[in-house]
Amino acid sequence: MDPLNRMATELVDEAIDFADELAIAVQQLDSEATVLDFGVHVPGGIEAGLMLAEIQTAGLATLDTTLRDIEQTPRTHVELTTDYPGLALLGSQKAGWELSIDDFEGLGSGPARALVAEEEEFARLGYQDDFEFAVLALESERLPEEGVVSEVADRAGVPESGVFLPTYATASLTGSVTAAARAAELAVFRLSELGYDPLDVLSASASAPVAPVADGEATAMARTTDALAYGGQVHLVVSEPSDRFDEVVSTAAESYGEPFEAIFESVDWTFEELPTELFAPAQLTVDIVGGDTHVYGERHGDLLAESFGL
């Protein structure tokens, strides 16, 4: 298989070629690094969100949209399928790189993380990427500048001219779409944290609703989390059984049962104080190859309707 960053760079090139059609903006900095505005100074979009989610998964996932009802109202849902769940979801899509440089605050996802490979997921996967370009998608209210480029280039071991930074705000249509694409990632990450070998997950498919775009980052964070915790559905095919599959869904958390804006406010938006099991999909089906099928959790349309203002 090609390096993850090679596959992601090819998708970034495609996004640049179709920037007008995607309604994104492309900027080359003095360092020759490339910043792509997917939803900071531009509104973002469904197609832009799907393209960015494909970049975040290094081209190892197939993404599409469908319409499904939430409390008798049609809502766009994002569907994702991958036969490389370890690499696509944990090795690439997971938002595991925090950046705080000068006035810039952002959370990075994408295959550039695999060039650094310091997170525990990469030891579990037995993988480190090797390529001269780095693709890091940034969730931030601001577009990155040269200080961010220098940090990414230094940690990833690439020249600054080889850094590509697609960037979007949580409170954008792109932000809502890419968040909805994370249901499978949350399930596989939670399994991995529970001690299950992510390489034993053979395929992952998922669906989650696209949250309405909020008027600020805090509300957007809450709504997009609601979309996953109360509306995300995941189907995994695995090779080995486990007695902890029931702990993967959001219903396993004691704080489960109210919109996340209230949950976040209860801890003064200090996410570290919340149990990690809250950040999980609503429902999970697990097929064990040659064995049983298990179903856990359920969707809660009433909580989604309250969060989305339906």
Tell me the per-residue pLDDT of 138-174, one tens digit each, with 9 for 90 and over.
Answer: 999 999 999 999 999 999 999 999 999 999 999 999 9
CB neighbours of residue 108 within 10 Å: 25
What integer pLDDT is reported at residue 278 of this predicted model? 78
231, two tokens: 């509306």
DSSP 250: G
Residues contacting residue 293 through CB under 8 Å, at least 6 positions apart: 285, 286, 287
Q: Which amino acid is it at 102?
A: D
| Mean pLDDT value of segment 280-284 | 96
Q: Beta strands 95-101 and 73-82: pairing type?
A: unpaired
Q: What is the pLDDT of residue 253?
A: 63
Categorize the per-residue pLDDT at 255 as very low, low, confident or very high, splitting at 50, 70 and 90.
Answer: low
Give me 3's structure tokens. Answer: 């390096």
Q: Residue 72, SS3? A: coil
Could you give the CA distance from residue 69 to residue 85 in angstroms, rounded to a whole number? 27
Burial of 140 by CB count in 10 Å (0-12 exposed, 13-18 middle, 19+ buried)? buried
